[in-house]
Amino acid sequence: MQIARTISDLRAARQQMRGQVGVVPTMGALHAGHLALAQAAREENDYVITTIFVNPTQFSPDEDLDAYPRDLEGDLTKLEAAGVDLVFTPTPELMYPAGFQTYVNVEFITRLLEGVHRPTHFRGVTTVVTKLFNLTQPDIAYFGQKDAQQVAVIRRMVKDLNFPLKIAVCPTVREPDGLAMSSRNVYLSASERKAATILIRALETAADAYDEGIRDGETLEQIMRQVVMTEPLGEMDYVSVVDARTLERPHPNSPMLASLAVRFGRARLIDNRLLPAHLNTREGLDSTLGV
Ligand code: AMP
């Protein structure tokens, strides 16, 4: 496995790759969710590139940029075992040198859901993802359902700016009790960790209600809200049920995205499920979310 720390090393390594290239962008502190993306990329491409970069522009000043977990040595061991060919590990100075002033912004859907609570977040994501796409030139780029709105935003950007690549979406990987794996789960105390299953419990209650025939978005949101409110350690940022393609008001006969964000101390956790439940697969996500 090669490691590129500079842009010229990355470009040289990329130029050697003759065949289909899959890219998995990450912020490191890798867990089984990230590795599922790497594994899918390994199965579907001739070459796999993973990027590890804790991107400062997607954190607001009051967020956890400095505290964000970092474990480069451990990450490299895991990626080598996953059969990754090339890892790009740039520094913030390399990605945002003095004088940097160009940003990519997707307008409307970045202001919904997460965008209400993190108004500058997606501009940082789309800017860094654009740079990573330009640098690594993937045929397929792999993203996780865990960040469903991010998938919708990046798919919009890829379409709008004519990036010659495909976005693949892999289902959320969970702990045995249903908590979505996240690098931020390390922030949870033992009691918060137990309480954090409230997110999946709220989503499953909404999925059950959907299965029983409830199709009204506000009713489904109210059902989720009632579950979250039973957990005193969690502070709800939002619960939401929207159309899975547009992230706007849901239609009774179209796939829906149920999602929520709940804070536990300094950990802000997000999770989501597509409704109906059978869409929470690689194929269902690929054909439904944000397209
Ligand atoms: P991050 O390092 O948190 O920026 O995540 C990098 C990629 O891994 C993103 O596309 C995430 O959506 C994806 N990801 C993070 N957690 C999970 C998970 N539990 N299951 C599947 N994908 C995930």
CATH code of residue 116: 3.40.50.620
Please give the pLDDT value at position 214.
Answer: 98
CA distances to 26, 87, 170, 180 from 77, in Å: 15, 11, 22, 23
Q: Between β-strands 86-88 and 140-144, what pairing exists: parallel, antiparallel or unpaired?
A: unpaired
Question: Nearest to residue 37, comparing CAs of 162, 151, 197?
Answer: 151
Please give the pLDDT value at position 291.
Answer: 85
Note whether residue 282 is domain-resident. no
Question: Nearest to residue 41, comparing CAs of 163, 136, 157, 149?
Answer: 136
Q: Are residues 59 and 156 in the same domain?
A: yes
* Residues lower than pLDDT 50 in the chain: none
Each residue of 150-199: pLDDT tens digit?
Answer: 999 999 999 999 999 999 999 999 999 999 999 999 999 999 999 999 99
User: Burial level of 71, CB count in 10 A (0-12/13-18/19+)?
Assistant: middle
For 136, the domain range is 2-170
Answer yes or no: 34 catalytic.
yes
Quote the pTM value: 0.98
Amino acid at 266: R
Hey, which of 34, 51, 58, 203 would you mutate to test ligand 1's pocket, going by the most ligand atoms within 8 Å of its Cβ? 34
Distance 214 CA to ligand 1 centre (A): 30
Q: Are residues 160 and 241 in the same domain?
A: no
Question: Nearest to residue 138, comparing CAs of 57, 51, 56, 72?
Answer: 51
Q: Are residues 113 and 238 in the same domain?
A: no
Residues with CB under 6 A from ligand 1: 26-27, 33-34, 36-37, 143-144, 146-147, 170, 172-173, 180-183
Please give the pLDDT value at position 118.
Answer: 97
Q: Are residues 215 and 134 in the same domain?
A: no
Distance 34 CA to ligand 1 centre (A): 5
Nearest-atom number in ligand 1 for the CA of 146 is 12
Please give the pLDDT value at position 96.
Answer: 98
Please give the pLDDT value at position 205.
Answer: 98
Nearest-atom number in ligand 1 for the CA of 172 is 20
Please give the pLDDT value at position 95.
Answer: 98
Note whether residue 266 is domain-resident. yes
Q: Are residues 53 and 88 in the same domain?
A: yes
